[in-house]
Structure 1
Amino acid sequence: MEKLSVTYRLLRKIGLNYSETEYGKVSFWGVLKRVCKTYKDGFLLKFGMNSWLLSPLLPRKIRPAILRSVGCKVGKGVFIGDNVKIDAGHADLIVLDDHVHVAGGCRLLCHQRNLSHYYVGDDYSKLGYRLAPIYLKKGCLVGMESFVLPGVTIGEGAIVGAGSLVTKDIPAWTIATGRPAKVIKQIPIRENESVNL
């Protein structure tokens, strides 16, 4: 227990201000290794995702490849708009199935402070984090400037309206919008269309 306490104090001194619970889970070298990976991935995400020189190839080729290289699971035919931000430190928790569209300015977050044991007088900075995956299923669309929070699954073919805050799962083949996002419409099944020649 003494070693964890020394590690905790050392990390605090160099400015890594995570909760004591988080520090207890890793060694100093584990934290350093994770920080280096996060910086490397952050550099790729910042400078590779929005290169004007490669703009024709960015949405369907380069951005999905960059997301794969930082640890996301990305299917075929995925579209990633400009200025999309992911949780670089937890990219391995993000899954984008085939033909998913993530429009410009969206943010995919896989961690947030765990408020389940937060009470009056507590120090917010000492709270641990809740980590949970994000799963965007086949053919769904996340509209511009939307936020997707940890633990959310957006169902196949679902559409999330622009500017939404997705805090809970969105069922397949629905349209959801708002802050927080709520289902406003079920997408109808196409009836057989007869073709007159």
Structure 2
Amino acid sequence: MRRTTRYPVSGPNSLWQLYQTVSFWKVLKNVMVIQVARYTPFLGVKNWMYRTFLRMEVGEQTSFALMVMPDIMFPENIKVGRNTVIGYNTTILAHEYLIREYRLGEVEIGDEVMIGANSTILPGVTIGDGAIVSAATLVHKDVPAGAFAGGNPMRIIYTKEEMEQRKKEELA
């Protein structure tokens, strides 16, 4: 189960009421920062922009590939550990705007995590240290540390223990 907080709305759908939940100026600033960061080839500059202007927690030597899309409305709810790779065109969401409610949830990505290209990470999930998420995965629930997960819907393909056993067999 994802950890999100639900906020009911009445009247038009929650996205139509966007600027009652988040400042227009914050969204405008975030759009500009994210668009520049999506295209910059300098990983250190990208991380600095995310930390400084979006208040994201980003660990040292973490790499956001080209076109990664962090949450525009609530990027401060995203935490990424050190030496992690976020693959090309991945989307990291910390919000969901629905018809009769919106939901907010923190996204926590651990240390030395590999997230494949074109993945989508939904709000309220944790991806544990050393986990691997295959390309084009919809991460809709937690990924345990050291596990290999993939698919849509996502499933755990190998646990940490199974991954360790596979590595031993490859070395033998």
**The TM-score by the shorter chain falls in which range?**
0.7 to 0.9
SS class of match (2:148): strand
Root mean square deviation, CA, Å: 2.3
**Quick check: 132-141 or 65-74, which moved more?**
65-74
- Residue identity opposite 2:96 in structure 1: Q
Once the two structures are superposed, residues 116-172 of structure 1 have per-residue CA deviations (whole angstroms, 9 ceiling, x without a partner) of: xxxxxxxx2xx1211000000111111100000010100100000000000000001
Which residue is equivalent to 1:118?
none
Give the superposition deviation at 1:48.
3.5
Among the aligned pairs, what percent are the same residue? 26
Give the superposition deviation at 1:71.
1.4
Unaligned runs of 5+ in 1: 1-7, 115-123, 192-197
Which residue is equivalent to 1:35?
24
Unaligned runs of 5+ in 2: 1-9
SS class of match (1:49): helix
Which residue is equivalent to 1:86?
70
Residue 70 of structure 2 is aligned to residue 71 of structure 1: no
Whether contact under 8 Å (2:38, 2:69) holds in the other structure is: no
Q: Which has more helix, going by share of residues?
A: 1
* Runs of 4+, deviation exceeding 4 Å: none
TM-score, length-scaled by structure 2 = 0.80
* Partner Cα distance (2:135, 2:112) in 1: 16
1:45-194 mapped onto 2 (5 Å cutoff): 45-51=34-40, 55=41, 58=42, 60-69=43-52, 70-113=54-97, 124=99, 127-186=100-159, 187-188=163-164
SS class of match (1:188): helix
TM-score, length-scaled by structure 1 = 0.70
SS class of match (1:48): helix
- Residue identity opposite 2:125 in structure 1: V
